[in-house]
Copies of this chain bind each other. A is one copy, B any other.
């Protein structure tokens, strides 16, 4: 179908100007809900902006009101033509696979060289990519000067599938979380397999003991390094490893006096970096320290209560006193949970008040605050039992209790309870729907109204935090309680399903977000594995079996422990340094791309130089 030469400019015009109004098959991709009571003219103007041509500052998308009888609900379905999506894919810099199996940045002009591309193949872009493109266009609209209530996408529900399918539907951030969860579960299996005989046969000989701890330390280093490589393989195939980072716009909550951004030269709110530093170091930091101190204080009260309950039990031994023994633990577990929640709100408020310009820097500061507090809250009592009370039996018992209860609470609070709430709501909704007997496309309207009531998923933060704390339980005191890995594996197998359930049926479908790695979590896990070297070495040094080896001199024992610890840390760092972060074939592919782009740049510069000389 070669177009005649005369038709070319008309075709061009069509592609950017008329295409959106002539699309016959409207496929809704994103649902926008405007605030109740939005004025008619505002709505009209807003929908016009969405469909308007690019040249007029619009997004050139398709929009259709959701046809419910009672027009109160300002719900709109947003879609886009196939061509519009392809041009958008170029704008956001998507990287796709070519016919020669290499990954390249998609451009509309070179579209024919991409695998599975055909002008009539509407599945060339995954549904997650389509949504990302539309979200990007809508946000650019907002960046101009409007306000928009964040919409939620049309959600087609399906349960846990392979990571690639998850990626096509939910996008890379969530797929990478599931990938990490799956990888981490598999990686825990060797630990669990080795841990079981330790528990069953109560192996507490010196050599087996040390072997287990050493294996644990090397294992934790290796799995974190190998994860980087697996992550690189996955994100290369998905194209996000190569995707150029978009320039970051200020986050919605950012405010300041209007000024000139030194980077873009555009007018936007500016906020002095010194003021932010003052807020961070003079307010947030002391506040966090105070919270940490408070958390330690609560822990000391718990130990007092525990002691009191024990004394009470010894004085008047009865069923009541026996029950009383559990009360302090239960109170403490509940208090920890409450403190975590309150602190989370405080951390979000403070970080937002620090007024970070970029979403990424906001996230980093928030994660750091929450991580430190959660770490202390969850592990302080264990550290106290291990290194102040020197009570290994109590340590094992507390570790088991904390690990198992936190897993049960999490599974329940995260998915079972919200799922039940949502199911109840769905029934009520269905009844109401049938009562109304609307004549428009019932299933779509029904679904949108149903999903409107679903909770919003606030990103993978809590899910990673859960895994992080679990990693702590498994690795920090591994040589005291080898069974921890078994429970972690069992938990994670159900976690995969409960997280899938949560994302598919409990929450509104989150927007897809491309990402190349798990970011700051890699650092958090690596820090945890460094701390675990220290704790495990001390635990081994404290064990009666090791103490028996140095009957005469405690000094020699301590020197040996310190030496071994430093050696292990050195080995850890050398291993992290020696194991390449990307597998060799990915390295070669990346180098090839870089070489080609350098060559192309050279050619282009030669051409430009020649042209400029001609003028």
Contacts and interface: CB of A to CB of B under 8 A. Distances in A.
Nearest to A561: B562
Contacts of A263: 588, 591-592, 595
B566 A534 contact: yes
Interface string A590-615: 01101100110110011011111111
A606 B264 CA distance: 20
Main secondary structure of the interface of A (DSSP, over half): helix
Specify how many copies of this chain sit in the oligomer.
2
Given A247-B598, A598-B246, A614-B12, A609 B107 contact: yes
Interface in A542-560: 554-555, 558-559
A244 B605 CA distance: 14
A584 interface: yes
A91 interface: yes
A37 interface: no
A554 to B, nearest CB: 6
A11 interface: yes
Contacts of A559: 558
Contact of A588 (B91, B262, B612): B262
A615 B599 CA distance: 26
Given A273-B584, A598-B247, A108 B262 contact: no
A604 B247 CA distance: 16
B605 A90 contact: yes
A40 B247 CA distance: 59
Contact of A592 (B8, B262, B599): B262
Contacts of A494: none
A319 interface: no
A9 interface: yes
A370 interface: no
Interface in A1-49: 8-9, 11-12, 15-16
A90 B609 contact: yes
A109 interface: yes
A87 interface: yes
Interface centre among A8, A263, A534, A602 (most CB of B within 10 A): A263
A51 to B, nearest CB: 20
B613 A11 contact: yes
Nearest to A109: B612
B9 A614 contact: yes
Contacts of A595: 247, 263-264
Nearest to A262: B588
A469 to B, nearest CB: 20
A575 B209 CA distance: 36
B247 A87 contact: no
Contacts of A87: 609
Contacts of A602: 91
A352 to B, nearest CB: 21
Given A91-B602, A566-B534, A584-B273, A247 B594 contact: yes
A537 to B, nearest CB: 10
A332 to B, nearest CB: 27
Contacts of A598: 244, 246-247
A15 B614 CA distance: 10
Given A588-B262, A595-B247, A608 B109 contact: yes
A265 B598 CA distance: 14
A379 to B, nearest CB: 16
Given A15-B613, A613-B12, A91 B605 contact: yes
A108 to B, nearest CB: 5
Contacts of A265: 592
Contacts of A108: 609, 612-613
Interface string A549-587: 000001100110010001000000000000000001000
A8 B566 CA distance: 71
Interface of A: 8-9, 11-12, 15-16, 87, 90-91, 107-109, 244, 246-247, 262-265, 273, 534, 554-555, 558-559, 562, 566, 584, 588, 591-592, 594-595, 598-599, 601-602, 605-606, 608-615
16 contacts: A12-B613, A12-B614, A90-B605, A107-B605, A107-B609, A108-B609, A108-B612, A108-B613, A244-B598, A244-B601, A247-B594, A247-B595, A262-B588, A263-B592, A264-B592, A558-B562
Which 9 interchain pairs have the tightest Cβ spacing? Answer: A109-B612, A12-B613, A108-B609, A263-B592, A263-B591, A558-B558, A262-B588, A12-B614, A247-B595
Given A109-B611, A534-B566, A562-B562, 12 more contacts: A90-B605, A108-B609, A244-B601, A246-B598, A262-B588, A264-B595, A265-B592, A554-B554, A555-B558, A558-B558, A558-B559, A558-B562
